[in-house]
Amino acid sequence: MALLSRVATLLYVLGRDLERTEHLARLLRVQSELSLDRSLLRGRRFWPDFLGLAGWVAPASCSREHAIELALEDPSGPSLRRSMESVRSAARAVRPSLSIEVWEQVNSLYWRLQEAGWRGDLYDYLHEIELGTQLIGGLVDDTMAHDEAWAFVKLGKYLERATNLTSIITRKSQELVRHRDDPIAWASVLRCCAAFEAFRLRFEAPISGDVVARFVLLDRASPRSVAFCVGLALAAVRHVEGPGGQSAPLRLIGQLSAMFEYADPWTVGAAPRDFGVQFDRALLGLHGALREVYFQPNRLALNVQGEELSRQPQQQQQVGR
């Protein structure tokens, strides 16, 4: 491990917030489309539930217009504007670690969104964000050397995706507890996870809550499953550690991966919330270890989007662990 702690931090933030931007754009797009179908609006909780799922403290009531305004523009919450600003800020700070193609696409998407605004066609605006962030992710893989810098971007991306997917399944399992066999409701959950087509290719039976939960949490072939994401996050940490690595992050993420490897699918499908609690507990310990080993070796504060991370002084390098 030879990257500066500050650089490792910002590369992780870049991958994390790029994934966060794509996730929120898709979540808002799907929910906006669902809101046009009045039969799916369950009382006054539709938009407050969306805000809770997207990371805000859910209000008692909220209009469609206010929810969209918060999701797109809120400077103090996990809005699209704030996430994309974080992506560009992190990319600019670690510009030498990125390929020119990645930097140009980050910068281009940021300015297109700043100039376009969303007052026109909301669907087109959100769809452009989704495709733009996916293009950046592809450029990271196809134009950057697969070195430590690349591994930290991937680590941030896949831990964030795993967190978002788990949150969707556990929250929706609670919200739809009386509608576990409602195929339309659970199809919308799959669409929020970008997993509808992959699911239909694997399963011919009607869509139900337990099958969706098993697929999104445990399937190892779908890139939009939590197990798949944890596996790639483990590979990223192994890449950083190199042969013979025995760090706390490697050990803890290995334990997290084993939790998915040996989980009973039927138990998980029947009680995804219980499995989500185990995941959150394991993830909390893993995040602490990542900060301790990679991001805070000398305890000097570096705040990035409210995260208390750290860097080393005077461009000193980390020693191997």
pLDDT value of residue 305: 46
Residue 301 reports pLDDT greater than 80 = no
Report residue 118's pLDDT band, with 50, 70 and 90 as the boundaries. low
Residue 41 reports pLDDT greater than 60 = no
DSSP letter string, 123-169: HHHHHHHHHHHHHHHHHHHHHS-SSHHHHHHHHHHHHHHHHHHHHHH
Mean pLDDT of 32-47: 71
- State pTM to two decimals: 0.90
Q: Half-sphere exposure of residue 200, counting CA atoms within 13 Å on the CB side? A: 9
Residue 308 reports pLDDT greater than 70 = no
Q: CA-CA distance, 96 to 267, in Å (whole number)?
A: 47
